[in-house]
Amino acid sequence: MKDRFLELKLKCYLFIIVFGILHSYAFAVDNLECIAPAKPGGGHDLTCQLLARSLELTHLSDAPMVIRYMPGGIGALAYNYIAGAKRKSFNTVVAFSTGSALNIAQRKFGKYDEGSVRWLGALVTDYGIIGVSSKSRWRSLKDLLDTLRKRPDLVIFGAGGSIGSQDWMKSALLLKSAGIDPKKIRYVAYEGGGEAINALLSGHIHVFPGDLAESSKYIQAGKLIVLAVFSEKRIKPGYSTIPIATEQGFPVVWPIWRGYYLPPEIPEEDYRWWENTLRRLSTTTLFEEERQRLGFFPFTTIGKDFENFVKTNVQEMRQLAQEFGLVK
């Protein structure tokens, strides 16, 4: 009887070990995917690139990560897809940002709110900018604002997201601080920053209130001129010659944290795998090099801390949206 008990106990231990190996192997054989809820070329795309490339370089997962683009409603389509149809998937992660939090705050994601997904973590931050084409007649923020005060109908702004989006919001904050009514400005909405930058360089719009990281290669190529960065102080290295809005007399600061969320019913052990992987990833030299290459800045919060951070941020964004009459 005792031998039989020991045999059963040994089989149980063996099952647990084999299950653990198979479960770990599932991540090695199943395709991991990062959904960028916009068209290629913008901040969400770069956020997915950061994770996919860093996982590849560090070998923290043997499975290659595919980037899948899902434009629609500036994040609404992807959010509804994960919160509704893809509730239990373990191999799908979605890029998210300050702008997405602002959309949730304005209830632009339908019936789903900030409690509808599992919040994984943020690994980087970015900063908003006011950019123009190198062919533009404006060479300073003062020049642009002087024109807007006289003939706001002559200037077309364009960025990722409709009125009320974060790109519109940071424009509105700047204009308000300059004594200009944001509602008088012509604004064109695009499905992501990449599409908006192409419109700027093609001459379809005049001003791009976007993000620094997604603009970096165009800045370095001399195609895009930044009139102001919405950061607390000048950014070094690389951007120290670009003035911030505050030093030009307009106290607007707009950091853009970038992170990821998971399906709401992901198994707890799978969530822990992702959480532990992000924690390990964020401490590696290879990740740090990739972050710098993509033009992002340090900011790390993972797991429960990130969940609390997002929910607090959504509430702050809701108050801001109420100030501009975007929500009741």
Residue 19 in tokens: 């299950």
Give the separation between CA 40 and CA 103, rounded to whole angstroms: 20
Using one digit for the tens of pLDDT, what is the confidence trace for 272-327? 999 999 999 999 999 999 999 999 999 999 999 999 999 999 999 999 999 999 98
Q: pLDDT tier at 192 (50, 70, 90 boundaries)? A: confident
Q: Any idea what the CATH number is for the domain that residue 305 is in?
A: 3.40.190.150
Spatial neighbors of 221 by CB under 8 A, at least 6 apart, are: none
Q: pLDDT tier at 4 (50, 70, 90 boundaries)? A: low
Residues 170, 237: one domain?
Answer: yes
Last residue of a domain, one of 253, 277, 295: 253
Residues 141, 249: one domain?
Answer: yes
Q: Which domain holds residue 68?
A: 31-125+256-323
pTM of the model: 0.85
Beta partners for 297?
125
Q: Residue 214 phi/psi, 5° resolution?
A: -70, -15
Residues 263, 289: one domain?
Answer: yes
Number of domains in the chain: 2
